[in-house]
Amino acid sequence: MSTAQAQREHVETILHSLDHPDGGEDAVIERSWRRCIDRYGLDPTAPSPPRYVPDRTLREHQDQADALIQVARAGVEQLYRQVTPLDYVVLLTDARGIAVQFLGASSAQYEHQRTGLYLGADWSEEHAGTCAVGTCIQERVPLTCHHSDHFSAHHIRLTCTAAPVFDPDGQLLAVLDISAYRSPESKASQTFALQVVKHYARMIEDAYFLQRYSGYHIVCLDRSREFVQINRRYLIAIEEDGTLLAANTAGRKLLRHHDLPLAGPGEARPFRAWNIQDLLDAEINEVLDIQRYSDDGVRAFRTHRHRELHFATLLEPKRRRAPSGQPRPGDSSLAPLEALADDDPAMRDTLTRAARLRNEPINLLVVGETGTGKERMARALHDSSRRRDQPFVAINCAAMPESLIESELFGYEPGSFTGANSKGMKGLIAQADGGTLFLDEIGDMPLQLQTRLLRVLAEQEVLPIGASRPVKVDLRVVAATHRDLRTLIDAGRFREDLFYRLNGASLRLPPLRERADQGYLIRRLFEDLQAERGESQSRLRGDAMSALLAYPWPGNIRELHNALRYALATCEGDEVVVGDLPEECISSHLAHPAARPAETPDGPIAGHSAVARPQDPLHEALRRHRWNISAVARELGLSRPTIYRRMKRLGITPPHQQDAL
């Protein structure tokens, strides 16, 4: 049959089946065809060239799926090795159907790209019509979309089999797909493909689950004693007291079967409402001590509800906060990165990525608001990397006068321009040879220098001003910006090709106001300042700490740093108390935490004005205590002379003295 004839027949089949739905075994496909017509308004006869997202969008999708891609890598490669002799390619898409990982024979790259079986292709049903990935996303089930199951007549030579990968909350995370251009006519020929893809999707899902809950006890259950150690069918993560935290897909089914419905999409009951003892007829100690009380690390328990026999093993928690890029236990080289944060989830994700990337031969872009610690991150990356004994050279592209940037960066030969040093100068880029070049505020680099920098990065060599021969350099570049480089690119102020060179991967730093580990940062900054002042006696009293924690910090860690520096400089003795903090922190402490003075976005901390306003905290406290200086001193933790000094500085005169003036 000719292709045109096959396509015509295909369209007729679709239209006929929509008029006479039989709800048979291909009900999933029929539902999808109906969506294509009714919901997306697609036409099966219309040409449907593959749709690719732009490179930068692909990179965003890959960044978002990074944790999964890393975990899935070994599984995807293993699957590819199994199916490549049968001429399949392997795709991993995110939950929106964008292919974020692809493995296929490079000799057929043109065909892959033409068909859309390639990185960056959009296989959502809305765009591609009925297809394995898109329909799997809609239906949330493994399926094969074979030949004319595809909605578009242009896809009918393909056979594609996909299975969903769910995250521990039951949300769709990704879709794993294998596809081939040639296959037997019968759909039954793909039964084995379906089993294989389901198997690998489950392996990836479980690996992701184990990694995400590696800081907790994980109970592994199976109906067979022999298999529980190797199969680990049901995985349930629990707290020390048995509270249920999460379960893999099979585990969630098991719990539902025992009338313990868990919060998944659309389910109301929160996970933490249950305890492992609601499922198993066992004391929590018996579960946590499985290893101790059995020879082979396996114990049998019955379920409460159906008295079913299950065999259990237990995975012990690993250290909770270690970035997963940690190569071997006890590796102290990660300490500089580890020190940047405590238990803030966004920072932990960034640090995990940073740990993984620290020795990769790619350039990194650190993004975040002003003062969120971008330079600190660049330094920590350097100190954690194999380049740590080589130079770290930091350049602020915004602070350097434009006329100097070129010579500072690239250096110059003796006598190459008027005013130049007669001995010539080694540029900063060459000084960073072997180490890390940190380019801060890269968005402010003039366009003409961007072109030269691009050449340095592409060729790994630098041409000093006035020199005829370039000098080889071995660089790892970490660039940072608080600007949206994409907007600058669109405005023609930043070179897109340079952006891609610099953005081998990006690391995002959250603003201070969103960080959950503010207490940790305060303690660290306080210690740093003490070290800077060469002292170690001072301590931060509880009320000062509470005031700092309650203060609604904006995005900038530098403001917090300045507040502590001010407090250490003005405190009496070796204790910083709430009254030593800048006025606005005291004010916020005394009033409601939300009553925040007007912000000065990038400037220094406001509020050190020499003239007291009636709403100034000291003024307020004095009025509240009816000008009883001892009471105010007690509340602010300051001595009476300090209160008097501050009153003088702020020009505050008690009412009873005003008459005397």
Q: Which residues bind ligand ATP (CB under 6 A)?
A: 340, 368, 370-376, 440, 480, 482, 521, 524-525, 557-558, 561
Query: Helix (H, G, I), strand (E, B), or coil: what is residue 641?
Result: helix
- Write down the residue that tokens 């049968």 correspond to: 86
The rounded distance, in Å, linking the Cα atoms of 162 and 151 is 16
Separation CA 622–CA 631 (nearest Å): 9
CB atoms within 10 A of CB 93: 28
Give the nearest distance from C-beta 569 to ligand ATP in angstroms. Answer: 15
Q: Which is nearer to ligand ATP, 50 or 443 (CB)?
A: 443
Report yes or no: 359 and 332 within 8 Å, Cβ to Cβ: no
Which pair of tokens denotes residue 77?
């490669």
CB of 58 to ligand ATP, least distance (A): 27
Q: Which residues contact 476 (CB under 8 A, 6 or more apart)?
A: 361, 363, 364, 382, 385, 387, 435, 436, 437
Taking the C-alpha atoms of residue 19 and residue 92, their distance in angstroms, rounded to an integer, is 35
Return the number of the residue (97 or 373) whose C-beta is nearest ligand ATP.
Answer: 373
Q: Given the complex with ligand ATP, which of 470 and 511 has the nearer CB atom?
A: 511
**Cβ proximity of 392 and 372 under 8 Å:** no
**DSSP string covering 64-77, please?**
HTHHHHHHHHHHHH
Q: Toward ligand ATP, which CB reaches closer, 365 or 632?
A: 365
Nearest distance, CB of residue 349 and ligand ATP, angstroms:
15
- The answer to whether the CB of 359 falls within 8 A of the CB of 544 is no
Closer residue to ligand ATP (CB): 198 or 523? 523
The alpha-helical segments, DSSP class H, found in 358-446 are 374-384, 402-410, 428-431
C-beta separation of 357 from 505 below 8 A: yes
Identity (one letter) of the amino acid at 253?
K
C-beta of 176: minimal distance to ligand ATP in Å? 37
Give me the helices (H) in 504-639, please.
Answer: 518-533, 542-550, 557-570, 583-590, 617-624, 629-636
CB of 480 to ligand ATP, least distance (A): 6
Return the residue nearest ligand ATP (CB atom): 373
Closer CB to ligand ATP, 395 or 453, in the complex? 395
Instruction: Give the nearer residue to ligand ATP in terms of CB position, either 44 or 373.
Output: 373
- Quick one: 483 exposed, middle or buried, by C-beta within 10 A (0-12, 13-18, 19+)? middle
Nearer to ligand ATP, 323 or 637 (CB): 323
In angstroms, give the least distance from the CB of 373 to ligand ATP: 3
Nearer to ligand ATP, 321 or 472 (CB): 321
- Helix (H) / strand (E) containing 165: strand 159-166
Q: How many Å apart are CA 346 and CA 323, to the nearest integer?
A: 12
Cβ–Cβ under 8 Å, residues 431 and 475: no
Closest contact distance (angstroms) between CB of 140 and ligand ATP is 40
Contacts of 259 (CB under 8 A, 6+ apart): 305
> Of 236 and 367, which CB lies nearer to ligand ATP in the complex structure?
367
Detail the DSSP E strand segments found in 272-401. 299-302, 309-315, 364-367, 392-396
Query: Tokens representing 237?
Result: 């993560």
From the CB of 449, what's the least distance to ligand ATP, in Å? Answer: 19
Q: How far apart are CA 58 and CA 102, in angstroms?
A: 12
Minimum separation from the CB atom of position 484 to ligand ATP (A): 14
Q: Which long-range contacts (CB under 8 A, 24 or more apart) does 487-492 make?
A: 488/443
CA neighbours within 13 Å on the CB side: how many for 349? Answer: 15
Closer of 26 and 349 to ligand ATP (Cβ): 349
Cα separation, 68 vs 66, in Å, equals 5
CB 527, min distance to ligand ATP, A: 9
> Measured from the CB atom, is 222 or 344 closer to ligand ATP?
344
Q: Which of these, 36, 21, 95, 91, lies nearest to 64 by C-alpha position?
A: 95
- Shortest Å distance, C-beta 525 to ligand ATP: 5
- Altogether, the residues listed in the chain come to a count of 661
The minimum distance between CB 585 and ligand ATP, in angstroms, equals 17
Q: How far is the CB of 562 from ligand ATP (least distance, A)?
A: 8
The answer to whether 512 and 560 have CB atoms below 8 angstroms apart is yes
DSSP type of residue 319: P
CB of 379 to ligand ATP, least distance (A): 8
- Choice between 94 and 440, CB closer to ligand ATP: 440
Residue 206 or 441 having the CB closest to ligand ATP:
441
Q: Rank residues 464 and 555 by Cβ distance to ligand ATP and give the closer one.
A: 555
Closest contact distance (angstroms) between CB of 518 and ligand ATP is 11
Phi, psi (degrees; rounded to nearest 5) at 124 = -70, 150
CB of 44 to ligand ATP, least distance (A): 53
Closest contact distance (angstroms) between CB of 521 and ligand ATP is 6
Helix, strand, coil shares of the chain as percentages rounded to 5? 45, 15, 40
CB of 55 or CB of 599, closer to ligand ATP: 599
How far apart are alpha carbons 231 and 274 in whole angstroms?
Answer: 25
Is the separation of the CB atoms in 326 and 384 below 8 Å? no
* Residue 122: strand pairing partners: 98
DSSP-assigned beta bridge partners for residue 280: 303
Contact 142, 198 (CB under 8 A): yes
User: By C-beta, is 32 or 372 nearer to ligand ATP?
Assistant: 372
